[in-house]
Structure 1
Amino acid sequence: MALEWEQIVVDAADPAALGAWWARALGWVVVNDDPEEYEIRQTADRLPGLLFVQVTDAKTAKNRLHLDFRPDDQEAEVSRLLGLGARRADIGQGEQGWVVLRDPEGNEFCVLGARAAG
């Protein structure tokens, strides 16, 4: 049996607003703009996607699953994401080579540093 990774599902109070934020942050396209199930992908025909679904309960703890991103320029990318509305997060990581941020609904994600050569 083969499995294909279709998407990551993200619980959201406002799926359309959070999905649109992530589409701007990643430069992805919207493939479903339903206000209760909002999906974005790198391109319309490329998987996996991010599917934002409406939930009524609030986020109460650190995410058990989070996304890591490796930009060409960490400092510039962190600044850009903060300008879009991300916030810095302290989840007990201490001094590390990555930066932990939160999206507008509080979901943590990491912006990694440069990949080591070799």
Structure 2
Amino acid sequence: MQMIVRNPAEGIYEATPDYVHAMEVVRPQRLLFFSGTMGLDLAGRAPAGLAEQLDCVWSNIRRILAEAGMGVDNLVRVTSYLRDAAYVEANQAARLEALGSRRIPTTAIVVETLEPGWLVELEAIAAG
């Protein structure tokens, strides 16, 4: 499998350093589609703070990836659902920390979550 970043240099606005416009995945053997993954602990409870929920959500993402024999290097798309626009920077920092130097297509959306204590939810696609 080959992953090719597609960031046109002309005719479109420039991608910022934390994401790419598109990722072409050539000949993947498997695709893994995540449900919205919450920042919940092992007991299914949401920690009180955003930082703790971001730690949990990325831990949960890594665990699901591991179940499929994959890692964060297999992620090709992440959509973040944030309860408040004020969470954008912390969410971005957590994503950049989780992905290291890799940049992938990503979108952040501000939503009203099903439970008031749920501050962040991630939806992802991985390829292997």
Q: State TM-score, norm by structure 2.
A: 0.25
The structure richer in helix per residue is 2
- Greater RCO, 1 or 2 (C-alpha within 8 Å, sep 6+): 2
